[in-house]
Amino acid sequence: MLEKEGYFIRGEMVVNIEGSHTVSPYEFYARPIRVNNNLESAKSDDESMPSNGSDIAVEDDAMITANEELQKYAEELNTFYGHPNNRKFIDIARVSKAAIKDDYYCRIRFLDSGGTEIRILSTLFEIHAMHCDRPPMCLQMCIYGVKPTNDQSQWSANVIKFFRKELREDVPVVVNVVGRY
């Protein structure tokens, strides 16, 4: 769905990192930014601009636009689900994995801002079908080909601190996505 909606440019995607939900190089979150149409129009509007400066300005504008879109959509969802008639609790029997294990808790991943939390199944609402027709607003990501040093299974606290510091959330980041469908 992301490719069809114009989030990929020349095999790459521009994202805005959600730093507050960064766990490690194996788990961090980013919001895809649609710059395809804006980038082409910026190049045709002023061919004399250097492409790097033009690309950066367009990506910055796209990041601001994406944030405004996220806020607008969050307001729309809050308005819709704020009305009691629009809230329908999830049918626990439909959550087969939880039903089989007789587990009353589940880990949910937030599609609008990233991150995960453990919640009681009986407190979750179903998402209305009309809110499922858009690309995800936040993606879980990992860096390919890196692993903790010294054959450890976990990242050290110092490495995670360094990773969080280096992973910028105030500028657009261009990523090459492996395994796109």
| Model confidence pLDDT, tens digit, residues 6-55 | 788 777 888 889 888 888 998 999 999 887 554 444 444 444 434 556 66
**Residue 67 pLDDT exceeds 60:** yes
**Residue 143 pLDDT exceeds 70:** yes
d(CA 88, CA 41): 43
Residues 123, 88: contact at Cβ < 8 Å?
no
pTM for the predicted model, two decimal places: 0.73
Positive or negative torsion for Cα 47, 49, 52, 53: negative
- What is the residue-averaged pLDDT of the chain? 79
Measuring CA to CA, which residue among 152, 87, 170 is closest to residue 122? Answer: 87
In this structure, of 66-75, 100-109, 114-123, 159-168, the range with the lowest mean pLDDT score is 100-109
pLDDT (0 to 100) of residue 112: 77
Average pLDDT (127-139) is 85
Contacts 24+ apart (CB under 8 A), 95-101: 95/121
Can you say how many angstroms the Cα of residue 179 is from the centroid of all Cα atoms in its chain?
17
d(CA 173, CA 164): 14
Radius of gyration of the chain (CA): 19
Give the SS3 label for residue 99.
Answer: helix
State the pLDDT confidence band at 180, using cuts at 50, 70 and 90. Answer: low
Give the contacts of 71 (CB within 8 A, at least 6 positions apart): none
In this structure, of 14-18, 97-101, 142-146, 174-178, the range with the lowest mean pLDDT score is 97-101
d(CA 93, CA 90): 9
d(CA 62, CA 79): 25
pLDDT (0 to 100) of residue 81: 92
